[in-house]
Amino acid sequence: MHICRVLGIYGRTAAALSLTAAMLAGTGALLLPASPAFSPRALVAGLGAIPPRYLAWYQGAARTCPGLRWEVLAGIGTMESDNGRSRARGVHHGQNRKGAEGPMQFEPATFREYAVRADRSARLTPYDPKDAIFSAARMLCADGARGGTRKGVRGAIFAYNHAHWYVRDVLAIASRYTVAARALRLKACRPVRHHGHHGHRFWRGRGRGRAGGRRCG
């Protein structure tokens, strides 16, 4: 069993973060806990919470561990550093009060154990978000996420941070991202009605729309 090796930046209490999970389910928006570390843009919806490059890194890192969903990595990244947007101590330099470093909030010894040099253009460091995200995927995979079973994924998240509320909240955020991504896919492939030059209506598929002879989703 690992000790609590990865420590986030937020003032965490089980009650506060359980309330966060409830609000996620109830409002359909991603609400992050209040903290001076947050930017004013604490309330975000769907995939707008994730910078495009972070989204690409979460997706790429998840592919290195069969069964690990990118949304789980994104849930952890959101909890730990608001997907790199936090300016709290320890996210971009130095350490937080518990000794954690980087956007995925690794303790130094843990990062050394699971470090992946994903960004070949720079030296390996927990402050490089690409290195940090791929290292987090490696750690989750080693701790049970490989295969994608419910028990394995929950156990891997618990190993990342030994708190049951943390597991619940990461999975709540991951679910929000899953729903948002699915909605975007459906929107991209929904047929769109147009009017022809002579007033005739016709349908034009978008993306993987039915009109294009392909299935959506």
Domains of the chain, by residue range, sit at 14-190
* 150 close to 144: Cβ distance less than 8 angstroms: no
Provide the pLDDT confidence category of residue 49 given band limits of 50, 70 and 90.
confident
* 114 close to 2: Cβ distance less than 8 angstroms: no
* 203 close to 191: Cβ distance less than 8 angstroms: yes
Q: Which residues contact 66 (CB under 8 A, 6 or more apart)?
A: 146, 147, 148
Check residue 139 and give its pLDDT: 98
Q: With 80 as the cut, is the pLDDT of residue 134 above it?
A: yes
Tell me the pairing of strands 43-44 and 201-204: unpaired
Rounded Cα distance between 114 and 112, Å, is: 6
* 79 close to 8: Cβ distance less than 8 angstroms: yes
Amino acid at 178: T
If residue 195 lies in a helix (H) or strand (E), which one and from where to where?
A: strand 192-195
Q: Which residue has the higher pLDDT, 33 or 216?
A: 216
Q: Which residue has the higher pLDDT, 35 or 166?
A: 166
Check residue 23 and give its pLDDT: 36
Q: Which residue has the higher pLDDT, 29 or 105?
A: 105
Check residue 46 and give its pLDDT: 80
Provide the pLDDT confidence category of residue 208 given band limits of 50, 70 and 90.
very low
- Find where tokens 């609000």 sit: 23
Mean pLDDT of 9-18: 37
- We find that the CATH architecture of domain 14-190 is Orthogonal Bundle (1.10)
State whether residue 95 is helix, strand or coil.
coil
Rounded Cα distance between 69 and 63, Å, is: 8
Q: With 50 as the cut, is the pLDDT of residue 2 above it?
A: no
Q: In 28-148, which ranges are continuous DSSP H helix?
A: 52-62, 70-81, 108-114, 129-140
* 4 close to 162: Cβ distance less than 8 angstroms: yes
In 3D space, the residue among 114, 40, 17, 172 whose CA is nearest the CA of residue 102 turns out to be 114
Rounded Cα distance between 199 and 27, Å, is: 42
Check residue 192 and give its pLDDT: 53
Q: What's the whole-model pTM score? A: 0.73
